[in-house]
Amino acid sequence: MELNFEKPLSLLTLDEIDQQEGGVIQSFRTGHTSPYPDPADWLNGEEPPPGVFITSVEKVLNWSRHYSLWPVMFGLACCAIEMMCMAASRWDLARFGMDIFRASPRQADLMIVAGTLTWKMAPWLKRIYDQMPEPKWVLAMGACGTSGGLFRDSYSVVPGFNLVVPVDVYVPGCPPRPEALMRAIMDIHEKIDKTRILKR
């Protein structure tokens, strides 16, 4: 899914860059028509693995990941304002350890995608997701993330984020209140507490 670099990038004109990116978006659109399955097997209970040593290492790792999730800022449209309201002083997000929204995906482990995703933006969402190091989680915020929302039958809107990235938690609402978003983040904390390091 990369741009085709027969000539070095400094010799391409801006129009040629536009043409190549248009080709990338067209091929992305035809290639992503079926959704990724939801990684939801943490909801069914599992037996704990044997061994005292593994269990306490897991507990420490999960505890440290739970209390310092750093989100990458990916606010696209109206839901981004509610995400910022949640990070502001009334519904303080810093008490969970998530106060700084990282601008670079290499330093983050949670991606909150807030807003409507269009086909023009979709390849770059996949690229930012690929640049995040493991382990990583994705939260789809709003009705536009679950199914395309109000704009579902438009010619340029992706009907649901799970066509592009695998999503862990969906938050309904248009836009969801900050309290609903906090409940979703606490669901991700529960999921982190139940991960096992031996099988992923």
List, as residue ranges, the binding site for [4Fe-4S] cluster: 78-79, 144, 174
**For another protein, the closer CB: 56 or 104:** 104
HSE, CB side, 13 Å, CA atoms: give it for residue 37.
Answer: 3
Of 77, 75, 73, 65, nearest to 134 by C-alpha is: 65
Q: How many residues does the chain have?
A: 200
**For another protein, the closer CB: 10 or 34:** 10
CB of 189 to another protein, least distance (A): 24
Q: How far apart (Å, rounded) are the C-alpha atoms in residues 37 and 23?
A: 27
- Runs of H (alpha helix) within 32-147: 52-66, 79-87, 122-131, 143-146
**For another protein, the closer CB: 23 or 133:** 23
CB of 55 to another protein, least distance (A): 39
Given the rule CB under 8 A, which residues bind another protein?
10, 14-15, 18-19, 21-23, 25-26, 73-78, 80-82, 84-85, 88-90, 101, 103, 115-116, 118-121, 124, 128, 150-151, 153-157, 174-175, 177
CB of 197 to another protein, least distance (A): 31
Q: How far apart (Å, rounded) are the C-alpha atoms in residues 157 and 14?
A: 25
Q: How far apart (Å, rounded) are the C-alpha atoms in residues 128 and 130?
A: 5
Query: Which residue do the tokens 């989100």 mark?
Result: 71
Task: Provide the annotated binding site.
Answer: 78-79, 144, 174
Q: How far apart (Å, rounded) are the C-alpha atoms in residues 12 and 5?
A: 9
**For another protein, the closer CB: 150 or 186:** 150
CB of 79 to another protein, least distance (A): 9
